[in-house]
Amino acid sequence: MEFSPSVFLLSFASILLLVGGGLLFRSLLKFFATERRPQNFPLPPGTMGWPYMGETFQLYSQDPNVFFASKRQRYGSIFKTHILGCPCVMISSPEAAKFVLVTKSHLFKPTFPASKERMLGKEAIFFHQGAYHMKLRKLVLRAFTPEAIRNIVPDIQSIAKDSLLSWEGRLINTFQEMKSYTFNVALLSIFGKDEVLYREDLKRCYYILEKGYNSMPINLPGTLFNKSMKARKELAQILAKILSTRRQTKLDHNDLLGSFMGDKEGLTDDQIADNIIGVIFAARDTTASVLTWILKYLGENPSVLQAVTEEQEAIMRSGEKGDEEKLLNWADTKKMPITSRVIQETLRVASILSFTFREAVEDVEYEGELFPDPEKFDPSRFEVAPKPNTFMPFGNGTHSCPGNELAKLEILVLLHHLTTKYRWSIVGANTGIQYGPFALPQNGLPIILSNKPR
């Protein structure tokens, strides 16, 4: 099959289960391609839905796997549709994941809707490939390698403890509180200790900005997009102030901003600002969503929660005698295999990311694997590594997430203190799932957190 695609890469994992002659899907890789093609190049079967809207509502109003499974049953593994105003082709399989993300990654550049690109900034790493992308990726990886982030474990621990303390004894929206936690960790990793000076201003502007991420790009007074773009401008001004202060002090910093400001790299202030905002965007909601789902699954699986708690309590008891409280270090986070499998299983079952995007740069010719009982939450399945290209929660290839080690670290640190010191109860019959843009437990998973008896 030949097409000239604009590709949206939907979901991280690519998993197909064949059971009793039927197909069950969980977190399927899907990619889409526009019909911009030379004459006589065939497109697969499918329907385009309503003018402009296409089948966007059908995809966003339910579990994406339901939408995709019904299409696959009717049209096969490759079909055309129309999503977010874009005619496209969907393909699913581990082979397709490898084709787009690794083998032919140079043919598929990242892209986003125009509104989100303008809000994040056109110089952000997401929108590029080639030499500029590789330079940015090198700078981000330099700040987020295990060697770099191991030194901020005490600071992340302090943020986690303060967050949990503020939740004690009250009804909270788990997702919203986890967003605050991950935002604070993101600022720490970007600005180091300097983040305290600018935290509230950065929060105020970014919280306005993010409300417009999925809005229509109508820049008229009063619209979400207009408010967001004003906040984006103020955010850039705050970042310019931080850059100016650092240049005056001439001190070395080992955080992400310090990596971006390296003299040899030659990034402009606009390029730095776009990528700082982009990193906050990438680091916040996704990790917060993972943590929210983890609390839900642990609450619903007492035996798994018990295993995680015992693992974390053993680490806590390993401190020096007489220590009032053992402080976690990098080595401790490598002694959490059960907790790490819980994170992996959550990423598999919950399908955290709804969409990332790819656009082919030229015409492309493109001619499950099995997770038994895919709906069941079972971290033990990761005692054996999954087959290649079936589980990619952080992507794969040159555009894989460079901050995955930081994301895993902040999750492990929070879960350590959560399971050893607290217990929680889910409030209400919150068994449903809400969609758009992230799949989340209904109402953000309301819980009440309380101290464990000593």
- Which residues, other chains included, contact 220 with Cβ-Cβ below 8 Å and sequence gap of 6+? 226
Strand order in the sheet with 30-31: 78-83, 86-91, 30-31, 8-10, 356-360, 108-110
Cβ distance 49 to 58 under 8 Å? Answer: yes
Determine whether 400 is exposed, middle or buried from the number of CB atoms within 10 Å of its CB (0-12, 13-18, 19+): middle
State the binding site for heme: 401
| Phi, psi for residue 194 in degrees, rounded to 5 | -65, -20
Give the rounded distance of the alpha carbon of 366 from its chain centre.
Answer: 28
- Measure CA of the first residue to CA of the last residue in the chain; give whole Å: 64
Cβ distance 76 to 92 under 8 Å? Answer: no
* Helices and strands per DSSP (H, E), number in the chain: 16, 15
Alpha helical stretches, state H, 192-268? 195-210, 224-249, 256-260
Cβ distance 27 to 9 under 8 Å? Answer: no
State the binding site: 401
- Say whether the peptide bond before residue 437 is cis (omega within 30 degrees of 0): yes
